Amino acid sequence: MAVNVIQTQATILDVQNARGRVTIEAEIPDLGQYPTRFIRWEGAGNAPAVGAQVLATMEPTSRQSRFVKDGTFADEVIDGEEKPWQVNWQMTAASPLAGDNRAGRGSTAGSAQTPRSGPSKGSNGAAWMDAALRYRVDVMMINDREAVRQAVAFGAAEGGNIISDVTTLLAMADDISGWWNARFLSRIGADSPLVAHAETLGAVVTDVAPAPEAPEIKNEAELREWVEGQGWSREAVVEAIRSAGYDSASEYLAAGGHTASGLASILTERLA
Protein backbone atom coordinates (compact mmCIF):
# COMPACT_ATOMS: atom_id res chain seq x y z
CA MET A 1 0.00 0.00 0.00
CA ALA A 2 1.33 3.45 -0.95
CA VAL A 3 1.86 5.97 1.82
CA ASN A 4 -0.53 8.70 0.73
CA VAL A 5 -3.85 10.27 1.65
CA ILE A 6 -6.37 7.44 1.95
CA GLN A 7 -9.94 6.77 2.98
CA THR A 8 -10.21 3.62 5.04
CA GLN A 9 -12.29 1.86 7.65
CA ALA A 10 -11.29 2.51 11.26
CA THR A 11 -12.55 1.43 14.67
CA ILE A 12 -11.84 4.05 17.36
CA LEU A 13 -10.23 2.44 20.42
CA ASP A 14 -9.22 5.49 22.46
CA VAL A 15 -9.26 9.29 22.29
CA GLN A 16 -6.97 11.49 24.39
CA ASN A 17 -6.56 15.27 24.74
CA ALA A 18 -3.29 16.46 26.24
CA ARG A 19 -2.01 20.03 26.00
CA GLY A 20 -4.57 20.85 23.35
CA ARG A 21 -3.54 17.94 21.09
CA VAL A 22 -6.28 15.41 20.39
CA THR A 23 -4.88 11.97 19.54
CA ILE A 24 -6.63 8.78 18.56
CA GLU A 25 -5.80 5.10 18.80
CA ALA A 26 -7.63 3.08 16.18
CA GLU A 27 -7.76 -0.33 14.60
CA ILE A 28 -7.10 0.29 10.89
CA PRO A 29 -6.55 -2.92 8.91
CA ASP A 30 -5.09 -1.02 5.94
CA LEU A 31 -2.28 0.33 8.15
CA GLY A 32 -1.19 -2.99 9.66
CA GLN A 33 -2.22 -5.80 11.95
CA TYR A 34 -1.72 -3.80 15.16
CA PRO A 35 -3.72 -0.75 16.35
CA THR A 36 -2.33 2.57 15.13
CA ARG A 37 -1.57 4.95 18.01
CA PHE A 38 -0.97 8.69 18.29
CA ILE A 39 -3.11 9.62 15.28
CA ARG A 40 -3.58 13.39 15.46
CA TRP A 41 -7.20 14.52 14.99
CA GLU A 42 -7.29 17.38 12.46
CA GLY A 43 -10.94 17.26 11.43
CA ALA A 44 -13.61 19.88 12.00
CA GLY A 45 -15.46 19.50 15.32
CA ASN A 46 -14.96 16.73 17.87
CA ALA A 47 -13.05 13.53 17.24
CA PRO A 48 -15.09 10.34 16.71
CA ALA A 49 -16.32 8.66 19.87
CA VAL A 50 -14.59 5.66 21.37
CA GLY A 51 -16.07 2.53 19.83
CA ALA A 52 -17.22 4.27 16.64
CA GLN A 53 -16.68 2.59 13.29
CA VAL A 54 -15.93 5.22 10.69
CA LEU A 55 -14.73 5.83 7.18
CA ALA A 56 -11.65 7.89 7.99
CA THR A 57 -9.62 10.20 5.79
CA MET A 58 -6.00 9.59 6.77
CA GLU A 59 -3.03 11.76 5.83
CA PRO A 60 0.66 10.90 6.44
CA THR A 61 2.68 13.72 8.01
CA SER A 62 6.24 12.47 8.56
CA ARG A 63 8.33 9.40 9.13
CA GLN A 64 8.36 8.18 12.72
CA SER A 65 11.45 9.45 14.48
CA ARG A 66 12.38 5.99 15.79
CA PHE A 67 13.10 4.82 12.25
CA VAL A 68 15.41 7.78 11.76
CA LYS A 69 17.20 7.14 15.05
CA ASP A 70 17.80 3.47 14.21
CA GLY A 71 19.20 4.37 10.79
CA THR A 72 16.37 3.01 8.64
CA PHE A 73 15.92 6.47 7.11
CA ALA A 74 18.14 9.53 6.92
CA ASP A 75 15.40 12.00 7.91
CA GLU A 76 11.67 12.29 8.61
CA VAL A 77 10.64 13.51 5.14
CA ILE A 78 8.26 11.12 3.35
CA ASP A 79 9.51 10.19 -0.13
CA GLY A 80 7.64 6.99 -0.99
CA GLU A 81 10.10 4.46 0.44
CA GLU A 82 8.16 4.02 3.69
CA LYS A 83 5.68 1.43 4.84
CA PRO A 84 2.35 2.60 6.36
CA TRP A 85 3.45 1.64 9.88
CA GLN A 86 6.67 3.66 9.57
CA VAL A 87 4.99 7.09 9.36
CA ASN A 88 2.91 9.35 11.58
CA TRP A 89 -0.72 9.81 10.55
CA GLN A 90 -3.42 12.39 11.11
CA MET A 91 -7.16 11.92 10.65
CA THR A 92 -8.70 14.84 8.79
CA ALA A 93 -12.30 13.59 8.53
CA ALA A 94 -14.47 10.73 9.77
CA SER A 95 -17.97 9.72 8.73
CA PRO A 96 -19.94 6.92 10.43
CA LEU A 97 -20.28 3.61 8.66
CA ALA A 98 -23.76 2.17 8.18
CA GLY A 99 -25.44 1.50 11.51
CA ASP A 100 -23.03 3.60 13.58
CA ASN A 101 -23.93 7.18 14.60
CA ARG A 102 -21.09 7.92 17.00
CA ALA A 103 -18.61 9.68 14.70
CA GLY A 104 -18.02 13.24 15.83
CA ARG A 105 -20.31 12.98 18.86
CA GLY A 106 -17.90 14.65 21.27
CA SER A 107 -15.48 12.13 22.72
CA THR A 108 -12.42 14.17 23.67
CA ALA A 109 -11.47 14.61 27.30
CA GLY A 110 -10.23 18.18 27.61
CA SER A 111 -10.28 21.53 25.87
CA ALA A 112 -10.68 22.00 22.17
CA GLN A 113 -7.74 21.78 19.85
CA THR A 114 -6.99 24.78 17.69
CA PRO A 115 -7.99 23.90 14.13
CA ARG A 116 -5.71 24.42 11.14
CA SER A 117 -5.16 27.92 9.91
CA GLY A 118 -6.27 26.98 6.42
CA PRO A 119 -7.64 24.12 4.35
CA SER A 120 -5.50 21.25 3.14
CA LYS A 121 -6.09 18.07 1.24
CA GLY A 122 -8.49 15.81 3.10
CA SER A 123 -9.55 18.49 5.60
CA ASN A 124 -12.87 20.22 6.01
CA GLY A 125 -11.33 23.69 5.70
CA ALA A 126 -11.56 24.65 9.38
CA ALA A 127 -10.41 28.20 10.10
CA TRP A 128 -8.18 29.65 12.80
CA MET A 129 -10.25 30.81 15.79
CA ASP A 130 -9.84 34.16 17.49
CA ALA A 131 -9.37 34.25 21.26
CA ALA A 132 -13.03 34.93 22.08
CA LEU A 133 -14.34 32.05 20.00
CA ARG A 134 -11.63 29.73 21.29
CA TYR A 135 -12.63 30.60 24.87
CA ARG A 136 -16.25 29.72 24.14
CA VAL A 137 -15.32 26.46 22.45
CA ASP A 138 -12.99 25.49 25.32
CA VAL A 139 -15.64 26.08 27.98
CA MET A 140 -18.38 24.36 25.99
CA MET A 141 -16.14 21.36 25.35
CA ILE A 142 -15.56 21.11 29.11
CA ASN A 143 -19.33 21.27 29.59
CA ASP A 144 -19.74 18.42 27.10
CA ARG A 145 -17.22 16.31 28.99
CA GLU A 146 -18.85 17.01 32.33
CA ALA A 147 -22.25 16.18 30.83
CA VAL A 148 -21.04 12.68 29.99
CA ARG A 149 -19.80 12.22 33.55
CA GLN A 150 -23.10 13.47 34.94
CA ALA A 151 -25.07 11.16 32.64
CA VAL A 152 -23.00 8.22 33.88
CA ALA A 153 -23.51 9.26 37.51
CA PHE A 154 -27.26 9.69 36.97
CA GLY A 155 -27.55 6.26 35.42
CA ALA A 156 -25.67 4.69 38.30
CA ALA A 157 -27.82 6.51 40.86
CA GLU A 158 -30.96 5.18 39.17
CA GLY A 159 -29.61 1.65 39.43
CA GLY A 160 -29.20 1.26 35.69
CA ASN A 161 -26.27 0.18 33.55
CA ILE A 162 -26.14 3.12 31.19
CA ILE A 163 -22.53 2.47 30.17
CA SER A 164 -23.66 -0.68 28.33
CA ASP A 165 -25.71 1.48 25.97
CA VAL A 166 -23.50 4.23 24.54
CA THR A 167 -26.30 5.63 22.37
CA THR A 168 -28.50 6.22 25.43
CA LEU A 169 -25.56 7.68 27.34
CA LEU A 170 -24.72 10.18 24.61
CA ALA A 171 -28.36 11.17 24.14
CA MET A 172 -28.66 11.96 27.84
CA ALA A 173 -25.31 13.80 27.77
CA ASP A 174 -26.56 15.91 24.83
CA ASP A 175 -29.50 17.12 26.93
CA ILE A 176 -27.32 17.92 29.93
CA SER A 177 -24.59 19.68 27.95
CA GLY A 178 -27.22 21.66 26.04
CA TRP A 179 -28.54 23.05 29.33
CA TRP A 180 -25.03 23.86 30.63
CA ASN A 181 -23.97 25.53 27.40
CA ALA A 182 -27.18 27.58 27.16
CA ARG A 183 -26.59 28.83 30.72
CA PHE A 184 -22.98 29.65 29.89
CA LEU A 185 -23.88 31.65 26.78
CA SER A 186 -26.62 33.54 28.60
CA ARG A 187 -24.10 34.65 31.23
CA ILE A 188 -21.37 35.89 28.93
CA GLY A 189 -23.62 37.59 26.38
CA ALA A 190 -22.39 38.37 22.90
CA ASP A 191 -19.41 40.56 23.77
CA SER A 192 -15.97 39.71 25.09
CA PRO A 193 -16.40 36.43 27.00
CA LEU A 194 -12.87 36.75 28.36
CA VAL A 195 -13.70 40.07 30.01
CA ALA A 196 -17.05 38.81 31.28
CA HIS A 197 -15.44 35.73 32.79
CA ALA A 198 -12.75 37.81 34.48
CA GLU A 199 -15.43 40.02 36.01
CA THR A 200 -17.34 37.02 37.36
CA LEU A 201 -14.14 35.99 39.15
CA GLY A 202 -13.95 39.39 40.86
CA ALA A 203 -11.63 41.26 38.52
CA VAL A 204 -12.09 44.99 37.99
CA VAL A 205 -11.55 45.77 34.31
CA THR A 206 -9.78 49.10 33.82
CA ASP A 207 -8.84 48.77 30.16
CA VAL A 208 -9.50 46.51 27.20
CA ALA A 209 -6.99 46.59 24.35
CA PRO A 210 -6.87 44.62 21.11
CA ALA A 211 -4.57 41.62 21.02
CA PRO A 212 -1.12 42.29 19.53
CA GLU A 213 -0.75 41.35 15.88
CA ALA A 214 2.14 39.42 14.38
CA PRO A 215 3.92 40.79 11.30
CA GLU A 216 3.78 39.14 7.89
CA ILE A 217 6.55 36.55 7.77
CA LYS A 218 7.57 34.79 4.57
CA ASN A 219 9.46 31.69 5.68
CA GLU A 220 10.90 29.70 8.57
CA ALA A 221 14.18 31.65 8.57
CA GLU A 222 12.35 34.97 9.01
CA LEU A 223 10.17 33.35 11.66
CA ARG A 224 13.22 32.22 13.63
CA GLU A 225 14.77 35.70 13.44
CA TRP A 226 11.53 37.35 14.54
CA VAL A 227 11.07 34.94 17.48
CA GLU A 228 14.63 35.62 18.68
CA GLY A 229 13.89 39.33 18.64
CA GLN A 230 10.86 38.91 20.93
CA GLY A 231 12.97 37.74 23.85
CA TRP A 232 10.81 34.69 24.56
CA SER A 233 12.47 31.68 26.17
CA ARG A 234 12.90 28.56 24.09
CA GLU A 235 10.80 26.62 26.61
CA ALA A 236 7.91 29.08 26.29
CA VAL A 237 8.01 28.93 22.48
CA VAL A 238 8.09 25.12 22.46
CA GLU A 239 5.17 24.96 24.88
CA ALA A 240 3.15 27.42 22.80
CA ILE A 241 3.70 25.34 19.65
CA ARG A 242 2.76 22.16 21.52
CA SER A 243 -0.41 23.80 22.82
CA ALA A 244 -1.42 24.21 19.17
CA GLY A 245 -0.91 20.48 18.61
CA TYR A 246 2.59 20.30 17.12
CA ASP A 247 6.00 19.30 18.45
CA SER A 248 8.03 21.84 16.50
CA ALA A 249 7.81 24.76 14.08
CA SER A 250 8.99 22.46 11.28
CA GLU A 251 6.17 20.02 11.98
CA TYR A 252 3.62 22.82 12.00
CA LEU A 253 4.89 24.25 8.70
CA ALA A 254 4.97 20.80 7.09
CA ALA A 255 1.21 20.45 7.56
CA GLY A 256 -0.81 21.47 4.52
CA GLY A 257 -2.05 25.06 4.49
CA HIS A 258 0.17 26.24 7.33
CA THR A 259 2.39 29.30 6.97
CA ALA A 260 5.13 31.04 8.92
CA SER A 261 2.78 33.99 9.47
CA GLY A 262 0.15 31.64 10.88
CA LEU A 263 2.61 30.27 13.41
CA ALA A 264 3.72 33.80 14.29
CA SER A 265 0.08 34.64 15.04
CA ILE A 266 -0.20 31.62 17.34
CA LEU A 267 2.97 32.59 19.23
CA THR A 268 1.80 36.19 19.53
CA GLU A 269 -1.58 35.12 20.92
CA ARG A 270 0.00 32.87 23.53
CA LEU A 271 3.16 34.76 24.48
CA ALA A 272 2.81 38.47 23.74
* Number of DSSP helices (H) and strands (E) in the chain, helices first: 8, 5
How many CB atoms neighbour CB 85 within 10 A? 14
What pLDDT digit, counting tens, does each position of 76-106 carry? 888 878 888 888 899 999 988 755 555 554 4
Average pLDDT, the chain: 74
Q: What is the mean pLDDT of residues 13-39?
A: 85
Question: What pTM was computed for the model?
Answer: 0.38
φ, ψ of residue 148 to 5 degrees: the values are -65, -45
Closest CA to 266 of 110, 117, 61, 46: 117
Cα angle vertex 106, ends 103, 111, to 5°? 140
Q: How far apart are the C-alpha atoms of 251 and 241, rounded to whole Å?
A: 10
Confidence of residue 117 (pLDDT cuts 50, 70, 90): very low
How many percent of the chain have pLDDT more than 90? 7
φ, ψ of residue 21 to 5 degrees: the values are -105, 120
Q: Give the distance from CA 58 to its chain's centroid.
A: 15
